[in-house]
Amino acid sequence: MTPLEEATEAAAKLLVFRELCTHPLTLAWQELIQQLMTGDPLPCWAAYGRWFEQLAWQGLSWREWLIREIGWADNPFSRAALRPQGIPEPLIQAARHDLRCLQTLADSQETIAEQMQALGLGIPWPDENKSSSGWDPRPFADWGLSLEDLIAHYRREGVGICARYWAFRWGASGLQGIPALDLPDWEEIYGYERQKRQLAANTEALLRGDPALHVLLYGARGTGKSSLVKALLRRYGPQGLRLLELRRTDLIQLPEILAELRAQVLPFILFVDDLSFEAEETEFKQLKVLLEGDLVAPPLNVRLYATSNRRHLIREFFGDRPNPQDQEVHAWDTVQEKLSLRDRFGLTLTFTPFTQGDYLATVEHLAQRLGFTQSWDVLHRHALIWAQQQNGFSGRTARQFLDAVRAGLVKNSDGRPI
């Protein structure tokens, strides 16, 4: 049997990694193998062109692509690797068998390169000897022997979409990965050191699987509440932390969301920015299930981190308070139900408004990190003018001021940028 025939047979024998065979890149590879076995140059060149184009879109060699897809796979074996009760022996045997088959597919790239060069069109995609998935079987002469490393990889990095992405939104089809993240640097967020320590310690407990608290970050606008939550992902994403950003309207689907995240095993932060409810809205009742549970215990790997500019998360009017003429007998119970949502967060971190000193200290801190060369006197003078003309004293205003300086929008009296 020739190497190309062995590769074709290996693809047909796959058991738990069969989904790889439906990818356009694998379909192009199969077509190229069939044409190479006929030996007709014109169809071979056309098939090679289609396969090469797919590799170019991926930016990976055939071997690198296969390794990445194995590391990202979402199939019965990879899902079983996440379960604490362990993996059934037949799945272990099937996965080891498939890894050896996939090694045969990976090795076919050398045969393809040789045969295409003989036909006058051999431009192999370079194999950089690295894996973008974090798992690499190449140190093993037999890929089947790398199975334990692969299981450890799944348990550390997750499977499927959670292996590909760190942050998500919720859509009609479930989790939707966010590919291009803009995450603040934890060290660039100035001030509130006690709040930062508590938030980091709670998140590290979640990562360890220890009891962790739901967190409400409450306080003045522009103080960095949302930035701190997002900065956690930059700091702890490599350790397995994942973040799902929810809109208030998503909360009605919270039971389905929690069921999905429970199955993912990795630690998840449910992030709700600017959390508040109108008096007539009832989505807050779904949050109570997450915060305190019902007959089904909340997932241990999921915690809610919410920010709010309001101390009371549900808007209350004087007219909501009990009136002797009301028909409701236990009206105070209704009021207390609305006001008790904030109390259900285990940890509340308060962010007080910036003073002028806080604002100028933040400007200095960020300017040093960004490499500004202007004197502090010049920056202070223009920063105060900027705050008066824009959004007042806050960390957000400090960042906006320095961005404006870099863009040349802040000028001296002679019209020159500072």
Residue where a domain stops, chosen among 164, 197, 229: 164
* Between 125 and 138, the higher pLDDT residue: 138
Residues 6+ apart with CB under 8 A from 205: 211, 212
**CATH, residue 303:** 3.40.50.300
One domain, residues 281 and 203: yes
Exposed e or buried b for every residue in 14-46, given b needs 16+ CB within 10 A? Answer: bbbbeebeeeebbebbbbbbebbeeeeeeebee
One domain, residues 10 and 151: yes
Could you give the number of structural domains in the chain?
A: 3
Segment 232-265, tens digit of pLDDT: 999 999 999 999 999 988 988 998 999 999 988 8
Average pLDDT over residues 132-147: 91
pLDDT of 289 reads: 67
One domain, residues 311 and 377: no
Residues 6+ apart with CB under 8 A from 26: 11, 20
Query: Is residue 281 very low, low, confident or very high in pLDDT (cuts 50, 70, 90)?
Result: low
One domain, residues 144 and 59: yes
One domain, residues 254 and 372: no
Alpha-carbon 180 to chain mean position: 10
Annotate 369-380 with DSSP letters as a single string: HHT--S-HHHHH
Average pLDDT over residues 22-44: 96
Residue where a domain stops, chosen among 351, 369, 396: 351
Asked if 217 contacts 225 with a C-beta cutoff of 8 angstroms, the reply is: yes
Q: State the chain's mean pLDDT as an integer.
A: 88
Residue 206 resides in a domain = yes
Asked if 20 contacts 66 with a C-beta cutoff of 8 angstroms, the reply is: yes
Residues 6+ apart with CB under 8 A from 355: 393
One domain, residues 196 and 331: yes
Query: Is residue 99 very low, low, confident or very high in pLDDT (cuts 50, 70, 90)?
Result: very high
Residue where a domain stops, chosen among 307, 325, 351: 351
One domain, residues 144 and 197: no
One domain, residues 227 and 342: yes
One domain, residues 302 and 385: no
Residue 418 resides in a domain = no
Structural domain including 149 reads 3-164
One domain, residues 336 and 307: yes
One domain, residues 249 and 387: no
Residue 316 resides in a domain = yes
Segment 323-354, tens digit of pLDDT: 555 554 444 444 444 555 667 788 999 999 99
Residues 6+ apart with CB under 8 A from 81: 87, 150, 151, 154, 155, 159
One domain, residues 313 and 219: yes
Residue 173 resides in a domain = no
